Amino acid sequence: MTPTTPDATAWWRHAVIYEVYPWSFVDGDGDGVGDLAGAITRLDDLAGLGADAVWFTPWFPSPWVDGGYDVSDYENVDPRLGTLDDLDRLVREAHQRGLRVVMDMVANHTSDQHPWFQAALSAPPGSPERSRYFFRDGRGPDGSEPPNNWICGFGGSAWRRTTDPDGSPGQWYLHTFSPEQPDLNWGEPSVAEGVLGAVDFWFRRGIDGVRVDAAPAMWKVDGLPDATYDPEEGFNSRSWVDSPHWDADGIHGILRAWRHLADSFTPPRMIVVESVVSSPDRLAAYLRPDEAHTAFNFDFLYAGWDADRLRSAIAEAIPAHASVGATPTWALGSHDETRVVTRLGRGDTQAGNLAFDHVEPGSLDRERGSRRARAAALIQLGLPGMACIYQGDELGLPEVMDLPPEALATDPVYTRTGGAARGRAGCRVPLPWAGQQPPYGFSPNDAQPWLPQPADWGGYAVAAQRGDDGSFLEFYRRALALRRRLGTGDLADFGWVTTDGPVLAFDSGRLRVVANLGIGIELLDPDATVLIASGELPGGGLPPDTTVWLSR
Ligand code: NOJ
């Protein structure tokens, strides 16, 4: 790999990016669903928090089988969220506040309602319309077996059989996610032309960057051979190497075309990839100088509250990124992950993902989870690279664990596993802004939000936390202000202070970050200046589940 000297001042190398799931952020028009007009009213809050950029999950028209990740029109806004005019206003108003806007581009698949897929369904096998997707004859004498053994990310086979116009069973099509999300064939030039045309459309509207959804799924090995994994084991992109439908080499040619487009703008647009792959080196391949700029780091996110695992996630990521001149993006949560307070409040912080895995929640200790979530935030925000904050994590929101089945059923992970996996609704509950009862200022006129909010969320509301020095929100604001003032340096400035044991300690720019993941109090250098601590420091010691930033 060619080491490069990238522009160290590029904004994404140091930015704090705030993830907005627009359906649950703020409801401006009182229908119980968040929207762009609502989001505009809270841009001051995001700028005031200390964010540099905002990433919006998909805003496109969508039948909403998968939270907007099933797109039926790449060049418009879903009417429930607003209009293109609202979007233009959002970008303008964000820019006026110094916030950059990053959009989500779902390009591995469309909705089954997209005109391309509808045309493919009514066109014959072998037609150009069908070549935009993966239509294949089934196996077995009557074609009743799926074309191969690939599995779907949300459970079950990755193939669905179609019905021909005369009612007889027809070809099958590939869907890495829900059957309503058919995979696009990026080997077909009109797909690249159409999707990149849409990316260009948004960049011209002033969008500053793009998140590439499910990037490793975007290329499939020719001939679509069977995978070698055991389909019964379930979707596991983190351990798949050489899977014929994940992280196949062809993805890199696609990313180069995206980068070429991004670089043709002034200023250049940013590309962040969602690439859950088997190793830091495989991830670095997505970040070569002519591919994406950065990627979410899932090893860090999934490390749990374990010093060794966190240390190795960081220790492996830094040289891998440095080798290609890129910087990491560190996150503790997203609209796909169990809320960090709940994850870290479990007895076993690594016992599977509550959203996707078929695991029992086990005992939850919200107080311990909150303590660790703050401590984890100071580790995350102290690292060099971009930091991504998922909406509500700055409020310390826990996962909502008592949603009724109809609320859980808004996520195909829940429905396709027959309820064996909880799915992601619990981290997508609309934010509390003010007041003591639902909708906590999320909707005007006391409209009921699309997912029910818990009765005890009054104390988490922004208005309740604002100005309270002990609150999560004010803690985040202080940490972000310090980070902006002092910086976390470049990857080359990073160094370990401890390399084993329960204390994670590193130097990053002008900060020394010391986190205690053990069970005893650790001594701190009495001469060190504490810039911020995630909890109390009794007698100057560092208690368990606590992180400090010291000045260097
Ligand atoms: C990743 C997105 O973050 C997730 O929400 C979505 O379900 C899948 N990709 C499929 O688009």
Query: Is residue 180 in contact with ligand 1, taking CB distance under 6 Å?
Result: no
What is the average pLDDT value for the chain, to the nearest integer? Answer: 95
Q: How far apart are CA 280 and CA 83, in angstroms?
A: 40
Tell the residue nearest (CA) to atom 5 of ligand 1: 336
Does pLDDT of 2 surpass 90? no
Helix 366-381 / helix 472-486 crossing angle, nearest 10 deg: 10
Query: Is residue 354 in contact with ligand 1, taking CB distance under 6 Å?
Result: no
The whole-number pLDDT of residue 6 equals 63
Q: What is the pLDDT of residues 371-415, one digit of tens each?
A: 999 999 999 999 999 999 999 999 999 999 999 999 999 999 999
Does pLDDT of 25 surpass 80? yes
The whole-number pLDDT of residue 234 equals 83
The structure tokens listed for 307 are 């010093």
Q: How far apart are CA 197 and CA 467, in angstroms?
A: 46
Does pLDDT of 80 surpass 80? yes
Stretch 182-186: mean pLDDT: 98
Beta carbons within 10 angstroms of residue 189's beta carbon: 9
State pTM to two decimals.
0.97
Stretch 259-266: mean pLDDT: 97
What are the φ/ψ torsions at residue 532 (nearest 5 degrees)?
-160, 150
Q: What is the pLDDT of residues 326-337, one digit of tens each?
A: 999 999 999 999
Does pLDDT of 207 surpass 70? yes
Does pLDDT of 8 surpass 80? no
Q: Cα 251 to chain center, whole Å?
A: 19
The structure tokens listed for 217 are 């799924």
Q: What is the pLDDT of residues 93-106, one digit of tens each?
A: 999 999 999 999 99
CA–centroid distance, residue 209 to ligand 1 (Å): 18
The whole-number pLDDT of residue 107 equals 98
Tell the residue nearest (CA) to atom 2 of ligand 1: 213
Secondary structure letter of residue 140 according to DSSP = S
Q: What is the pLDDT of residues 234-255, one digit of tens each?
A: 888 888 888 999 999 999 999 9
Does pLDDT of 49 surpass 50? yes
- Checking DSSP bridges between strand 294-295 and strand 270-273, what pairing results, if any? parallel
Any idea which of 172-186, 234-248, 355-369, 413-427 has the lowest mean pLDDT? 355-369
Secondary structure letter of residue 62 according to DSSP = -
Q: Write down how long the chain is.
A: 552
Q: How far apart are CA 491 and CA 322, in angstroms?
A: 7
Query: Which ligand 1 atom minimizes the distance to the CA of 67?
Result: 5
The whole-number pLDDT of residue 356 equals 80
Does pLDDT of 130 surpass 80? yes
Under a CB-based contact definition with an 8 Å cutoff, are residues 242 and 273 in contact?
no
Under a CB-based contact definition with an 8 Å cutoff, are residues 111 and 62 in contact?
yes
Stretch 307-333: mean pLDDT: 97
Question: CA distances (Å), 148 to each of 16, 118, 187, 249, in order?
Answer: 42, 23, 19, 20
Query: Which ligand 1 atom minimizes the distance to the CA of 274?
Result: 1
Helix 189-204 / helix 251-263 crossing angle, nearest 10 deg: 30
Stretch 544-550: mean pLDDT: 98
Beta carbons within 10 angstroms of residue 363's beta carbon: 9
The whole-number pLDDT of residue 352 equals 67
Please report the DSSP string for 361-424 in residue order: ---B-HHHHHHHHHHHHHHHHTSSSEEEEETTGGGTPPP-----HHHHTTSHHHHHTTTSS--S
Q: How far apart are CA 199 and CA 61, in angstroms?
A: 15
Does pLDDT of 12 surpass 50? yes
